């Protein structure tokens, strides 16, 4: 009976991939029925439970083959994030840039000082502070999408997320080469310039390529959808091959697509269902990577990191909210919505390890634990913000409407009865 399967079964890559999505979608649905937790919490929870931190069914190494999907997911997110950065809006409402700059600067400064006081080396503190600047675009976009949230708070949260990720990406690209301790200043400068300017130039070149192809294939949605996905995947692979920052390159591509397409060759593509598929996978995998051990090892520093980050972001937004004519409630809700920090932070800290494997443990513990904590709190905060802003979809009570309508019909019948 050799044709029968041999036990114990070992799950192959494809089965595991499917299982991840099934578990993700089921737990997302269960969690969303609580009406407090967003679906993302469910995806993360499944990852966390099957991951090494709890049941250890799936180890991160088993998921090595999914790296490609994670990279594509992050690539699409960064491209989309870049498309939210609209220069016309920034020109008409200068308050947005100033608000974003102030919240990013204050976050960097206060987190840096706090970690320095906890005796972190300067470079570690600077990298952690840079990572703290960025809000998770994946969480904000996914929640806005899940709730069909639309309105001033949602749009401002998205553009502020886009800007703080831009600041973080630039700072991170500058700081990263400094993690290599055995190199000269001249080399460092060259390396930093190559990564920073090279990534931006590469992003712009990809944009020019996209425009040329788009002119050729025309404005059909399905064609341009494939074109965008293909360009994003190619840009990820090629920028890695030439040692550039794929994150910054894709962000630049998105920004260029939004602002430099003067002849309106590109059409607005919503990655819709395909993005959802990637997002679920991304969050489940993020869940697998989540580590809470740092919370017991370094409770003080993790809590300080989170509290200082949250306060600094809130102060930064509040300082210049009046310039954009935001109400108090809108300002508070934007602060709340900017809480999440996730996928990109993990990606960034992995890059640090790639560059210098000795550097990372303390930093990784801090970032991974803070990400874990903010992954629990962040999506709930963002969802709450969009609901409180009254921008998530409204559920109209049709039952009441029917009763009132029936009331009117009854009244008209009574009237006919009287006449008769």
Partner 1 sequence: MSLTAFKGNPSNTVGVELELQLVNLQNFNLTMEAKDFLRRLSEIKIPGEIKPEITQSMIEINSSIHKSHDSLLKELLTIKNTLTEQAAKTHIGICGGGAHPFQQWNAQRIFPTERFTNTSEQYGYLAKQFTVFGQHIHIGCQNGDDALYLCHAMARYIPQFIALSAASPFHQSVDTVFDCSRLTVISAFPLSGTPPWILAWDEFDDYFCNLSDLGIVKSIKDFYWDIRPKPEYGTIELRICDTPLTVHKAAELAAYAQLLVIWLLDNKINLSRDIYLTYAVNRFRAARFGLEALFIDPIERVQITLAKDIIQTCNQLRNYAVQFNCENILDQICKAVSNKENGAKWLREHHTKFQSLNDTVRCQTELWKAGT
Q: Which residues bind partner 1 (CB under 8 A)?
A: 83-84, 86, 88-89, 92-93, 148, 150-152, 155, 218-219, 258, 264, 267-268, 270, 324-325, 327, 330, 390-391, 393-394, 396-398, 400-402, 404-405, 408, 411-412, 415
**Shortest separation between residue 321's beta carbon and partner 1, angstroms:** 13
CB atoms within 10 A of CB 223: 15
**Shortest separation between residue 164's beta carbon and partner 1, angstroms:** 18
Mapping DSSP to helix (H, G, I), strand (E, B) and coil, where does residue 253 land?
helix
Nearer to partner 1, 106 or 392 (CB): 392
Nearer to partner 1, 176 or 389 (CB): 389
Nearer to partner 1, 33 or 219 (CB): 219
**Shortest separation between residue 290's beta carbon and partner 1, angstroms:** 33
Nearer to partner 1, 150 or 354 (CB): 150
Mention every residue, 6+ apart, whose C-beta is less than 8 A from residue 183: 177, 191
Phi, psi (rounded to 5 degrees) for 194:
-60, -50
**Shortest separation between residue 21's beta carbon and partner 1, angstroms:** 27
Task: Please report, for residues 23, 300, 360, 387, 391, the alpha-carbon distance to residue 297 in angstroms, rounded to integers and kept in the order given.
Answer: 31, 9, 16, 36, 40
Q: 361 is written with which tokens?
A: 């443990």
Instruction: Name the DSSP class of 5.
Output: P
Nearer to partner 1, 257 or 288 (CB): 257
Beta carbons of 130 and 108 less than 8 angstroms apart: yes
Cα–Cα distance measured from residue 232 to residue 275, given in angstroms and rounded to the nearest whole number: 13
Cα–Cα distance measured from residue 101 to residue 364, given in angstroms and rounded to the nearest whole number: 26
**Shortest separation between residue 309's beta carbon and partner 1, angstroms:** 27
Cα–Cα distance measured from residue 143 to residue 276, given in angstroms and rounded to the nearest whole number: 11
Task: Please report, for residues 349, 352, 365, 375, the alpha-carbon distance to residue 361 in angstroms, rounded to integers and kept in the order given.
Answer: 10, 10, 6, 20
**Shortest separation between residue 259's beta carbon and partner 1, angstroms:** 11
Nearer to partner 1, 25 or 144 (CB): 144
């Amino acid at each position: 009976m050799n044709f029968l399967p041999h036990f114990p079964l070992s799950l192959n890559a494809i089965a595991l991939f499917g299982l991840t999505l099934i578990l993700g979608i089921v737990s997302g649905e269960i969690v969303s029925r609580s009406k407090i937790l967003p679906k993302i919490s469910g995806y993360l929870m499944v990852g966390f439970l099957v991951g090494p931190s709890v049941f250890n069914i799936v180890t991160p190494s088993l998921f090595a083959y999914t790296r490609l999907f994670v990279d594509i997911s992050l690539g699409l997110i960064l491209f989309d994030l870049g498309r939210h950065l609209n220069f016309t809006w920034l020109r008409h409402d200068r308050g947005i840039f100033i608000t974003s700059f102030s919240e990013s600067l204050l976050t960097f400064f206060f987190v840096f000082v706090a970690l320095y006081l906890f005796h972190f080396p300067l470079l570690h503190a600077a990298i952690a502070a840079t990572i703290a600047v960025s809000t998770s675009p994946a969480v904000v976009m996914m929640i806005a999408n899940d709730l069909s949230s639309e309105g001033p708070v949602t749009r401002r949260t998205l553009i502020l997320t886009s800007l703080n990720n831009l600041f973080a990406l630039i700072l991170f690209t500058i700081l990263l080469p400094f993690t290599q301790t055995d190199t000269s200043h001249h080399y460092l400068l060259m390396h930093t310039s190559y990564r920073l300017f090279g990534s931006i130039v590469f992003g712009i070149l990809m944009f020019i390529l996209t425009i040329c192809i788009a002119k050729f294939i025309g404005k059909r949605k399905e064609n341009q959808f494939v074109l965008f996905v293909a360009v994003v995947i190619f840009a990820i692979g090629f920028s890695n091959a030439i040692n550039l920052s794929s994150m910054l390159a894709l962000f630049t591509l998105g920004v260029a697509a939004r602002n430099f397409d003067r002849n309106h060759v590109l059409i607005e593509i919503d990655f819709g269902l395909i993005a959802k598929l990637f997002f679920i996978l991304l969050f489940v995998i993020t869940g697998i990577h989540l580590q809470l051990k740092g919370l017991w090892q370094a409770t003080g520093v993790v809590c300080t990191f989170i509290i200082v980050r949250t306060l600094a972001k809130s102060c930064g937004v509040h300082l210049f909210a009046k310039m954009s004519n935001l109400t108090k409630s809108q300002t508070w809700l934007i602060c709340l919505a900017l809480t999440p920090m996730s996928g990109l932070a993990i990606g960034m800290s992995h890059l640090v390890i790639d560059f210098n494997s000795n550097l990372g443990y303390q930093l990784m513990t801090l970032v991974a634990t803070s990400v874990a904590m903010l992954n629990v709190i962040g999506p709930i905060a963002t969802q709450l913000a969009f609901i409180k802003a009254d921008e998530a979809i409204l559920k109209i009570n049709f039952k009441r409407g029917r009763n009132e309508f029936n009331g009117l019909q009854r009244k008209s019948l009574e009237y006919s009865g009287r006449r008769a």
